[in-house]
Amino acid sequence: MNFPLLTVTAAVPAVGAILTAAVPASRRTAAKWLALLFSLATLALAVLVAIRFEPGGDRYQLTESRSWIADFGVRYELGVDGIGVVLIGLTALLIPFVIAAGWHDADPLETSSSRWRPTQGFFALILLVEAMVIISFEATDVFLFYIFFEAMLIPMYFLIGGFGDRAHSGSDENAAAQRSYAAVKFLLYNLVGGLIMLAAVIGLYVVAGNFSLQEIAAARAAGTLDMATNTERLLFLGFFFAFAVKAPLWPLHTWLPNAMGEATAPVAVLITAVVDKVGTFAMLRFCLGLFPEASKWATPVILVLALISIVYGALVAVGQRDIKRLVAYASISHFGFIILGIFAMTSQGQSGATLYMVNHGLSTAALMLVAGFLISRRGSRLIADYGGVQKVAPVLAGTFLIGGLATLSLPGLAPFVSEFLVLVGTFARYPVVGIIATLGIVLAALYTLVLYQRTMTGPVKEEVRTMPDLRLREVLVVAPLIALLIGLGVYPKVLTDIVNPAVEHTMSDVKQTDPKPEVAVEAKNGEAAK
């Protein structure tokens, strides 16, 4: 029997969560190191998954299949394609940085009016989210995917509502109310999406007789699965709605700024760089894989919604006064680019969208974590409370600048490659949509550079005059992320070699080929090639 590598990769952080939560209350430091150790072990397993994966091999590899609920056709089925491999790698890579960055975020507060916060629970919940996200990227049984797609909402609810940002203007009671509101809004939005998806999952079983993604695809290819047009469209809408909430896509986005604003910076990274990627990943795997004709039918409307997300998110980011909410609205704009690339129905667009998921995770993590270090020093999230930081904390300012430049997709940094591919793929099939989407690039430069100017340059404000620069732990958190942003910007081939074969399979699912160039290309014999 083959070693169940995918199961173990998801199980290790789950076991780590249990053990971390069981550490005695007086051993907070031990709990932190234990959580970090398990996150590094998960990263090592994710690297092993990538090593064992063969880009030119079968579509789903390292597969596992066991009977689970036989009476209802539910199986414990796992398998990864190239898209799943890189997203598992992203998740496993970011969690150690999230833990290290949040090292003191759940320590007891010194003020007597504040309640003691369970440090062990904070890190255990982070590991639990990691386990659920990883198995979501691995699941090829629709029902199995749905369970963890929904289950991850529970630990995220407690991370947002129970361990909120301490840099909050107003009383402790007001801060607690804001955290509670953000957590409940996050939960309700995603639960509604999940309930609609559950109805679609049941409908899929009624039509197909099972939940296996591979079996349904095989039946469709063999012509033995006859799904009526209206039925396919309704099922597609049920799945897509849930994924659009998770992503999030305009107008289902309003929970994200509240959640990221009230969460600690590491948890904000967990939300937008890790958890939200499950939504866009599922659009590729389940919407396009299970409902190809309905996906093409819905494409015009989805492209419009993606464009609105791109422009709206960027415009609102320009006017933000809160640093974390600015990053949240910027992420809404970036998710618009990702969804645009997916539904452009070109290989360049979908490869770019997948790379965008990875690169957005890295760039947002770098920017948000440095912003968190900045906010923890000043105790305020308001942009107006800063000024001249680069003169007193040059390393902090420099890393903040690089994270910001990556967010605006500066050439030479990783997000540029993915954004370029998305736009090229969109131009090839929908040139007008591509032209409008470029407005997001201009606005990204505006909100990023204005943010840097207002916080880091100009006269040194009295409140930041004694601000310390990044400490060793903080440098160790940010430096590898910046190195990856530069490395993948210069040499993205390490990811595209893994992703492109999976994208070809997805294009085959929807029976699409890349548009041919309209301009004739001169052939070798001197004649115009048609």
Q: What predicted TM-score, i.e. pTM, was given to this entire model?
A: 0.90
Of 217, 213, 223, 239, which Cα lies nearest the Cα of 79?
Answer: 213
* Helical (H) or strand (E) element with 234: helix 229-246
The neighbour count for residue 108, using CB atoms within 10 Å, is: 12
d(CA 401, CA 453) in angstroms, rounded, equals: 10
User: How large is the average pLDDT for residues 344-361?
Assistant: 92
The tens digit of pLDDT for each residue in 121-141 reads: 899 999 999 999 999 999 999
* Residue 524 pLDDT level (bands cut at 50, 70, 90): very low
Helix, coil or strand: residue 168: coil
* Residue 111 pLDDT level (bands cut at 50, 70, 90): very low
> What is the residue whose two structure tokens read 């645009």?
340
Name the percent of the chain in helix, strand, coil, to the closest 5.
75, 5, 20
Amino acid 182 reads A
* SS3 per residue for 324-357: HHHHHHHHHHHHHHHHHHHHCCCHHHHHHHHHHH
* Helical (H) or strand (E) element with 76: strand 74-80
Residue scoring higher pLDDT (114 or 327)? 327
Of 84, 94, 128, which Cα lies nearest the Cα of 282?
Answer: 84
- Give yes or no for a contact between 149 and 32, defined as CB atoms under 8 angstroms apart: no
- Give yes or no for a contact between 276 and 246, defined as CB atoms under 8 angstroms apart: yes
DSSP 70: G
The tens digit of pLDDT for each residue in 246-300 reads: 989 999 888 999 888 888 889 999 999 999 999 999 999 999 988 889 999 999 9
